[in-house]
Amino acid sequence: MELSATAERNLEALAGELEGLSKILRFAADQFRARPADERRPAVRIALYALSNFVGNVFSLDQDLRQPLNELLYGLNDLDHGQVVPLLKSAKVSHRAKGALSTGFLRAGAAALMDLHQQAGMPRKQAAQHAATKLNEHGYRDDKGGRVAAKEVERWRDEMKSPQDKGDLAVERYKFVLEWLKSSHPDEPKKAAEFLLDALLDLISPSIPKNFQS
């Protein structure tokens, strides 16, 4: 079945929009990774602008679809000028989280990686060291910007196994990742560990990797 001329033009236009979006998002991602954590807001604004522009161009008759993205974009700009809009105000909670969610997700991934190495037959300390070595080779750093240490991985794994806060999202991620890998790689912990290491960027916020070099 041949497409009409109008359909072909629409597909070409969409392909062009997607290509443009991809280029800007790639630029934003490169800028994001190249800067320290407290200087990454401009890169996030670039990504949000690209997404908003894409939505506006693709859904030209529904410009209101851009509003959530635009409000976040404006709010980030306001933060740079010392103003905190309601959208970005901290929620009032009975107890504050220990750290950033992206940090917790990295720890969950590292803990799961250690678990998988143990399942493959490595002793505890060797499994922690192997996990730390692989994380460092992939450019991951701890929350202080230093190289991930085996002792840290051991501690993170123990915290995930016996959490103080049962509602910790990082703990839930740790459990989910292990269950997911158990079903997708049954009785193959080595392959599961390799898969997890390659998939970490998709499982956690990209703010954790400091760079991509050891």
User: Which of 39, 58, 85 is at the close of a domain?
Assistant: 85
54 belongs to a structural domain: yes
Checking if the pLDDT of 201 tops 90, the result is no
Q: pLDDT exceeding 90 applies to what percent of the chain?
A: 41
Q: Using 50, 70 and 90 to split pLDDT, how confident is the model at 126? A: very high
62 with 120, same domain: the answer is no
113 with 79, same domain: the answer is no
The predicted-structure confidence for 48-65, as pLDDT tens digits, reads as follows 999 999 999 999 889 999
User: Six-digit token pair at 167?
Assistant: 């509602």
The predicted-structure confidence for 18-46, as pLDDT tens digits, reads as follows 999 999 999 998 888 788 778 889 999 99
Please state, in angstroms and rounded to a whole number, the distance separating the CA atoms of residues 110 and 124: 13
pLDDT at 205: 45
- Helix pair angle (67-80, 41-58), 10° resolution: 160
56 with 137, same domain: the answer is no
10 Å CB burial of residue 62 (0-12, 13-18, 19+) is exposed
If you average pLDDT over residues 147-154, what whole number do you get?
A: 93
209 belongs to a structural domain: no
174 belongs to a structural domain: yes
Q: Give the residue numbers spanning the domain of 41.
A: 7-85
Q: Which helix (H) or strand (E) holds 178?
A: helix 169-184
187 belongs to a structural domain: yes
- Helix pair angle (150-161, 124-137), 10° resolution: 110
Checking if the pLDDT of 210 tops 60, the result is no
The predicted-structure confidence for 73-123, as pLDDT tens digits, reads as follows 999 988 888 888 888 888 775 555 566 777 888 899 999 999 999 999 999
pLDDT at 80: 87
112 with 170, same domain: the answer is yes
Catalogue the long-range contacts made by 156-165 (C-beta closer than 8 Å, 24 or more residues apart): 156/107, 156/108, 156/110, 156/111, 157/110, 157/111, 157/114, 157/115, 157/128, 159/107, 159/111, 160/107, 160/108, 160/111, 160/112, 161/111
Please state, in angstroms and rounded to a whole number, the distance separating the CA atoms of residues 50 and 100: 25
196 belongs to a structural domain: yes
Please state, in angstroms and rounded to a whole number, the distance separating the CA atoms of residues 118 and 125: 9
49 with 128, same domain: the answer is no
Length of the chain: 214
Checking if the pLDDT of 2 tops 80, the result is no
pLDDT at 213: 32
